[in-house]
Amino acid sequence: MLDLWFDYKDLWLSGLKVTASLTLLAILLGFVLALPIGVARARNRGLSGVLAYGYVIFFRGMPLLVLLFLVYYGAGEFSRDLRSLGLWWFFRDAYYCGLLALVLNTAAYQAEIIRGSLNGIPSSIREANAALNLTRWTAFRRVLFPIAIARALPGLGNEFILLLKATSLLAIITIFDLMGQARFIFSETFDLRAYYVAALHYLVLVLVLEWLLRRIERRNAWAA
Amino acid sequence: MELLSLLTPGPTGWGDELLIGLSMTLGLALATFPVSIMLSFLIHWARSSRRRPLRYLAQMHVSIFKSLPEILTLLIIYYQSQVVISWVADYAGLDSTLSISPFLAGLIALSLVISAYGSEVVRGALQAIGKGQVEAAQALGLSRFHCFWKVVLPQFWRHALPGLGNLWVILLKDTSLVSVIALSDLTHVAALAINTTREPFFFYLVIAAIYISLVIFSSWIQKRLERRAARGFVAGGRAHA
Amino acid sequence: PAAAETLRIGTEGAYAPFNFVTEDGSLKGFDVDIGNALCMQMQVECEWSTHEWGGIIPALNAKKFDVMVASMAITEKRQEKVRFSSPYYFNAMRFAALKELELDTATPASLEGMVIGTQSGSVAVTVLQEYFPENEIKLYPKLGEALLDMESGRLDLVLESKFSIGDWMADGTDCCAFVGEDFLMDGTIGAGIAMRLEDEKLQTRIDDALAAIIANGTYDDIRAKYFGFDIRSQPRMVSDLFEG
Amino acid sequence: MADTRAISIQALNKYYGSFHALKNVTLTVEKGERIVICGPSGSGKSTLIRCINGLEDHQSGSLTVDGVTLSDEAAVLRQVRARAGMVFQHFNLYPHLSVLDNCTLSPTCTLRLDKATARRQAMELLSRVGMVDHAGKFPSQLSGGQQQRAAIARSLCMMPDIMLFDEPTSALDPESIGEVLDVMTDLARDGMTMVCVTHEMGFARKAADRIVFMDAGQILEINTPEAFFATPETDRARTFINQVIGH
Amino acid sequence: MADTRAISIQALNKYYGSFHALKNVTLTVEKGERIVICGPSGSGKSTLIRCINGLEDHQSGSLTVDGVTLSDEAAVLRQVRARAGMVFQHFNLYPHLSVLDNCTLSPTCTLRLDKATARRQAMELLSRVGMVDHAGKFPSQLSGGQQQRAAIARSLCMMPDIMLFDEPTSALDPESIGEVLDVMTDLARDGMTMVCVTHEMGFARKAADRIVFMDAGQILEINTPEAFFATPETDRARTFINQVIGH
Ligand SMILES: Nc1ncnc2c1ncn2[C@@H]1O[C@H](COP(=O)(O)OP(=O)(O)OP(=O)(O)O)[C@@H](O)[C@H]1O
Ligand SMILES: Nc1ncnc2c1ncn2[C@@H]1O[C@H](COP(=O)(O)OP(=O)(O)OP(=O)(O)O)[C@@H](O)[C@H]1O
Ligand SMILES: [Mg+2]
Ligand SMILES: [Mg+2]
């Protein structure tokens, strides 16, 4: 198997880079999008609650593969309109389309995790906030948010790993991530080992990610 | 309107093909789910076994299939299992046309993946039942069989249902991946339809809507089941112990 | 009579006009008609199945089917993995480009900086790698997806079978046009019917049947259904075109 | 305006949905007075004490704390809560903050004390409850008794005039109960106005000025500890006393 | 063979990993005797009582219950458990079964009683603990005291010779504690052999024949209640008694 890796060393390395960069970007952008949605879900009031609920239902309900096709080929169908809107530079690029699909998808999952941990904060904490006269903003910023994030960490960690795995679908829209390179090498050589080499890469990536997450979690000494 | 006519059943539209695709998707999910659950129990049992090799094996199963992208698992199972079957068939001098269908490959691959997660659902549910229940059964002299059958299992469903419901939804959506090994599921049919109609947005939107409806319907069923399983547990005012 | 022998034929099903699935769910196309004619000639039952292009050779070797009639170009690399019949037509490649680019030739120089797409696992990939190493190349699971992407402007050109592209362009869109000549990859002998390496006898049978349907005119009848011109004469080689 | 009443409750009624949890409760607490509320489970003790600092709203009647009459306006609630500190059965410490940070969070954010002052004051009060050595620890690293003492210090850091306690010892083991009651007795001796829900009759006898006995949402009896234990007026109270200290 | 000893524990040692939880514990319980075990938290009380019916294994020493010497064979364990019923701090009722079904499950499955007999007997014992009216309810619909009484009835349904209690009242409110202690006192009066871990010193005084005081995995003192409370032999016991009944 090692020979197959060295024969296509450059391809594997560039695939690794694409996979890692996509995963990291999607995690970060997804989190930024998920925060307000998760908070709106937890409050579950007014228009924002309904919108957040709709968002979550929609993007959690459909397979990522379908979302990916929808964004990529769907946007292609409307290329003329997108061009006149000045958005085509974004949708033209498979990388951006793939990233967008990943972000939309993971934000829905991350939002639910954030909602869960916000709602899971025991009412006793909120009572303490009231009894100590904290303002709503202080209470959120100094108490609810840090506790929620700490409680959400294991769930978010899982989601990050799922996301890493999900990037493999992007190969289908011409992105040469790890999976894309594996498919290419396989089509060149018809050598099944190409997939095993890819599998090893993913195993290592997940191990690294898990290790990172464990390190972050361990910083919350108080949760013990 | 024009677009909708693409969905009519019969020789001029894609409605009937989509329906067949839908039944393939559902069929695969329905066939895979029970297999996954049984496998989950097995893996949980192996993981908590006293025998070290068994424990390691089960642990490895979980780590591997939780780390590999589903699509990679699928491709590897699809191609590799065929090679293995051919070897075995050749070696045993059996009918060498034995072959593994995309359906079976999908079933095996998805079962492996889902059971890796499922074993944790099983573990969580058993933990949620609590040591106290098992201890009470022991103290009352119940045999291990009765303890499992009469005390643990009835409570298991209640604790496992949310997790299992989640897994079902994951499974349902993961079936879309078998389209890449040309099983004519919903997504594959959509791709074929787009090949001739050149209406990707419309067809993928339809597919998305179907999946979303399936998921919503599933969670509705799940809620009903959960309510049923919660009978007797629901605190009528106070929730002690 | 004893139960007829069945021949399990595999194809892709997403490569119009050679093999494709219609909205009534049936498999159609030039390959399919040829395959059926061969079966008739060999007096066997045909049993068709479709497979993803990227995995179709492994599928054949994995005995998911016995014979592949899928417009596969015969190449040396492929001959290491499977056995081919004599060619049943010449599936020449040709560039198609966005009209707005106003290209009139397709050479490495004239295509500088352009994005070219093709189907992953096709011989066009090798051509592009060899003669257009500077261009950005995108690979699609299905040809249709590459063509859709050219229509939307994500690709400047697509290099693939001129028949398939032609069929697609005839079907309504006027975004694109052929540029340059058609050509074959060096060492390609045309499109062949493939089977497993060990099936030597089967190859003889298929070759004989092919010769027979060409001789009795069945082949030409089928060809005329799809193409108004000869598809069995050999086009130029790619090395001729770009190096000569 | 030299009002000597710390808390005045007039004909208070509280419903949870259709459940009548407090029925016409009337009670006055003088400044510096120590009140113990007791009664069987579900009698409304927690509900009453939570109404006093507005953690629960009420449907009718009036409630005045240190001259401020409770309403559901945010400003009024803040005034009331600034005057009345609350200690909960389950401590309700912030798990992600050290004991010291638990004590300084609200003073810095709400009272706008500067960090240094807040810390100095917190350390003083922590030493008062015997917790200086644990100031840097997280709540999860402390025993129940230590957590409750930290929670008391946290409340005191807001400089309240009145302290409310809702069964502060009932989640603790016997040894920890002792620690916490000692701190509370100490507070009582210093003249803090206190309202405690507790079943610790030893504490009630020692520290309370008056005992309020509740049942089924009503106040059945208000009496001095001596009178309450020796000659309870109602049968319900007698049964209750027997049960709580009988064994 | 007229052995008068219900339980005989000889030099029992128990480790959790490297932690020495029981150190050379020796104790004999006569038939019909009522023993109360007390001691500070973590002293090994639960561990000891759980060893007696084999919920925990031990590393050295011997343990004989009603003439059966404990080992880790399944058959031996079942014999011992048939003789010794256990009541837990958190009741451990089966939440998916009604009170009656909780009581009949093991008799029908293990003793092979027929349904009708099992139900008749269960109703009898439920009436003894005052729970007949609640036989059809699920545990979650009951108060803590009611749950614990149901759990006692469930244990009694197995016709044990010995009853073990592990802090049966410490998860309860004062009134419920009363209910449960009444039932236990009643059992004691009827001559049941009982071993109770409890902090209820009133009960100990009233019902116990001997009090066993444990600390740090050792038995420090075994004494009659009168002697134990009046003149504890060890300082540790004296401190403990002051703390538990001091306030
Ligand atoms: N949030 C609520 N919703 C509905 N009913 C409630 C709520 N909180 C309390 N109750 C009910 O109000 C009554 C009084 O409750 P409260 O908690 O004040 O009793 P308590 O005297 O503090 O009892 P305990 O000693 O058990 O703490 C009880 O019957 C309880 O069931
Ligand atoms: N499963 C276990 N694993 C490791 N240590 C344990 C385990 N169970 C108990 N211990 C330890 O053994 C010691 C004795 O525990 P045990 O539960 O018997 O105490 P206890 O006297 O019942 O205390 P409490 O009054 O808190 O119930 C404690 O220090 C405890 O931490
Ligand atoms: Mg209360
Ligand atoms: Mg214990």
How far CA D199 is from CA of C15, C112, D243, E173, E199, in Å, comes to 83, 88, 11, 9, 16
**Among candidates D113, D72, D86, which has minimal Cα distance to D196?**
D86
Rounded Cα distance between A61 and A51, Å, is 15
Which residue reads 């899982």 in tokens? A158
pLDDT in tens, C131-174: 999 999 999 988 888 999 999 999 999 999 988 898 888 877 78
For residue C17, whether the previous peptide bond is cis, meaning omega lies within 30 degrees of 0, is yes
List the end-to-end C-alpha distance of chain D, in Å, as a whole number: 48
Question: Which of D76, D90, D105 to mutate to probe the A interface, most A CBs <10 Å?
Answer: D105
Give me the CATH code for the B4-229 domain, please.
1.10.3720.10
Average pLDDT along chain A: 93
Q: Tell me the shortest Cα–Cα distance from D63 to chain E, in angstroms.
A: 29
Give the model's pLDDT for residue C141.
Answer: 87
Q: How far is the CA of D154 from the centre of ligand 2 (A)?
A: 31
With contact defined as beta carbons under 8 Å apart, do A156 and A113 qualify?
A: yes
With contact defined as beta carbons under 8 Å apart, do D129 and D155 qualify?
A: no
β-bridge partners, E213 = E38, E221
pLDDT in tens, B27-74: 999 999 999 999 999 999 999 998 999 999 999 999 999 999 999 999
Average pLDDT value for residue range A110-139: 93
Q: Would the CB atoms of B241 and E93 count as touching at under 8 Å?
A: yes
Average pLDDT value for residue range A30-54: 95
Neighbours of E88 (CB within 10 A): 24
Cβ–Cβ contact D238 with A under 8 A: no
What residues have a C-beta under 5 A from ligand 3, the ion? D 46
Q: How far is the CA of E197 from the centre of ligand 2 (A)?
A: 13
CATH of the domain at E97: 3.40.50.300
With a cut of 90, say whether residue D158 has pLDDT above it: yes
- Tokens of residue C117, six digits: 């797409």
With contact defined as beta carbons under 8 Å apart, do C160 and C122 qualify?
A: yes
Find all residues with CB under 8 Å of D215, minimum gap 6, and list them: D39, D40, D43, D236, D240
Q: What residue ranges define each of the domains in chain A, with the CATH number in brackets?
A: 2-223 (1.10.3720.10)
Note whether ipTM > 0.85 here: no
- Tokens of residue E145, six digits: 């005291």
Nearest-5° Cα angle at C230, C225 to C236? 140
E51 lines ligand 2 (CB under 6 A): no
β-bridge partners, C163 = none
Rounded Cα distance between C110 and C157, Å, is 12
Q: How far is the CA of E165 from the centre of ligand 2 (A)?
A: 16
Rounded Cα distance between B46 and C204, Å, is 54
Question: Which of A10, A87, A174, A175 to mutate to probe the C interface, most C CBs <10 Å?
Answer: A174
Neighbours of E103 (CB within 10 A): 29
What phi and psi, each to the nearest 5 degrees, are found at residue E165? -125, 130
Give the model's pLDDT for residue A140.
Answer: 93
- Residue D215: its chain E contacts at CB < 8 A? none
The ligand with the least distance to the CA atom of E39 is 2
pLDDT in tens, D110-157: 989 999 999 999 999 999 999 999 999 999 889 899 999 999 999 999
β-bridge partners, E5 = E30
- With b meaning 16 or more CB within 10 Å and e meaning fewer, what string describes C99-110? eeeebeebeeee
E8 lines ligand 2 (CB under 6 A): no
Rounded Cα distance between A53 and A59, Å, is 10
Interface of C with A (CB under 8 A): 54, 57-58, 81, 117, 120-121, 125, 138-141, 145, 148-149, 151-154
Give the model's pLDDT for residue C167.
Answer: 86
D8 lines ligand 1 (CB under 6 A): no
Q: Would the CB atoms of B155 and E143 count as touching at under 8 Å?
A: no
pLDDT band at B6 (very low <50, low <70, confident <90, very high): confident
Q: How far is the CA of D225 from the centre of ligand 1 (A)?
A: 25
Cβ–Cβ contact B215 with A under 8 A: yes
Question: Which of A19, A55, A68, A69 to mutate to probe the B interface, most B CBs <10 Å?
Answer: A69
Q: Which domain holds residue E111?
A: 5-246
Q: Would the CB atoms of B135 and E92 count as touching at under 8 Å?
A: yes
Rounded Cα distance between B22 and E140, Å, is 43
Neighbours of E2 (CB within 10 A): 3
Find all residues with CB under 8 Å of A81, minimum gap 6, and list them: none
Q: Tell me the shortest Cα–Cα distance from A76 to chain C, in angstroms.
A: 5
With contact defined as beta carbons under 8 Å apart, do C32 and C24 qualify?
A: no
Give the model's pLDDT for residue B16.
Answer: 84
- Tokens of residue D173, six digits: 């083991």
Residue count (chain A): 224
Average pLDDT along chain B: 87
Report the nearest-CA residue for atom 1 of ligand 1: D16
Cβ–Cβ contact C196 with B under 8 A: no
With contact defined as beta carbons under 8 Å apart, do E214 and E37 qualify?
A: yes
pLDDT in tens, A156-187: 999 999 999 999 999 989 999 999 999 999 88
Q: Would the CB atoms of E81 and B138 count as touching at under 8 Å?
A: yes
Cβ–Cβ contact A222 with D under 8 A: yes
Give the model's pLDDT for residue B236.
Answer: 41
Residues of chain C with pLDDT under 70: 1-3, 244
pLDDT in tens, B108-138: 999 999 999 999 999 999 999 888 899 999 8
With contact defined as beta carbons under 8 Å apart, do A213 and A27 qualify?
A: no
Q: Would the CB atoms of D140 and A133 count as touching at under 8 Å?
A: no
Sign of CA dihedral A89, A91, A95, A96: positive
Of C125, C141, C152, Cβ closest to residue A76: C152
* Subunits in contact with chain E (3 or more CB pairs closer than 8 Å): B, D
**Among candidates E175, C55, E88, which has minimal Cα distance to D215?**
E175
Q: Would the CB atoms of C59 and B82 count as touching at under 8 Å?
A: yes
Average pLDDT value for residue range D61-85: 92
- Residue A132: its chain D contacts at CB < 8 A? 81, 105-106, 110, 154-155, 158
Query: In this structure, which amino acid lies at residue D232?
Result: P
Q: Give the chain C residue nearest A82 (alpha carbons).
A: C152
Q: Could you list the pLDDT tens digit for every one of the 247 residues in chain E?
A: 457 889 999 999 999 989 999 999 999 999 999 999 999 888 999 999 999 999 999 999 999 999 899 998 888 998 899 889 999 999 999 998 999 999 999 999 988 899 999 999 999 999 999 999 999 999 988 988 999 999 999 999 999 999 999 999 988 887 888 889 999 999 999 989 999 999 888 899 989 999 999 999 999 999 999 999 888 889 999 888 887 775 4
Give the model's pLDDT for residue B1.
Answer: 54
Number of domains in chain D: 1
Report the nearest-CA residue for atom 13 of ligand 2: E42
Average pLDDT value for residue range A133-141: 92
Give the model's pLDDT for residue C244.
Answer: 58
What phi and psi, each to the nearest 5 degrees, are found at residue A35? -55, -60
Give the model's pLDDT for residue D32.
Answer: 92
Q: Would the CB atoms of E94 and B155 count as touching at under 8 Å?
A: yes
List the end-to-end C-alpha distance of chain E, in Å, as a whole number: 48
Which residue reads 């009484």 in tokens? E149
Cβ–Cβ contact E89 with B under 8 A: no
DSSP string, C23-77: TTS-EESHHHHHHHHHHHHHT-EEEEEE--GGGHHHHHHTTS-SEEEEEEEP-HH
Q: How far is the CA of D196 from the centre of ligand 3 (A)?
A: 11
Q: Do chains A and E touch (3 or more CB pairs under 8 A)?
A: no
- Tokens of residue E57, six digits: 């294994």
Q: Give the chain E residue nearest D171 (alpha carbons).
A: E171
Q: How far is the CA of D167 from the centre of ligand 3 (A)?
A: 7
**Among candidates C71, C89, C68, C37, which has minimal Cα distance to C217?**
C37
pLDDT band at B98 (very low <50, low <70, confident <90, very high): low
H/E element, D8:
strand D5-16
Q: Would the CB atoms of A94 and C154 count as touching at under 8 Å?
A: yes
Give the model's pLDDT for residue E2.
Answer: 57
Which residue reads 């149901």 in tokens? E150
pTM (predicted TM-score): 0.84
List the end-to-end C-alpha distance of chain B, in Å, as a whole number: 60
Q: Residues of E numbered 110-129 whose beta carbons fall under 8 angstroms of chain B's beta carbons: which are they?
A: 110
**Among candidates D208, D206, D209, D151, which has minimal Cα distance to D176?**
D151
- Return the best residue to mutate from E13, E47, E59 for the ligand 2 pocket (most ligand atoms within 8 A of CB): E47
Neighbours of B108 (CB within 10 A): 18
Of B66, B69, B174, Cβ closest to residue A179: B69
Give the model's pLDDT for residue C66.
Answer: 92
Q: Would the CB atoms of A73 and C125 count as touching at under 8 Å?
A: no
Neighbours of D71 (CB within 10 A): 14
Among left, alpha and beta (phi > 0; psi -120 to 50; other), residue A163 is alpha
How far CA D103 is from CA of A150, D126, D150, D165, D186, in Å, comes to 21, 9, 8, 17, 19
* Subunits in contact with chain B (3 or more CB pairs closer than 8 Å): A, C, E
Q: Give the chain E residue nearest D202 (alpha carbons).
A: E247
Q: Residues of B numbered 99-118 whose beta carbons fall under 8 angstroms of chain C's beta carbons: which are they?
A: 99-100
Give the model's pLDDT for residue C3.
Answer: 59
Cβ–Cβ contact D96 with A under 8 A: yes
Paired sense of beta strands E60-65 and E5-16, if any: antiparallel
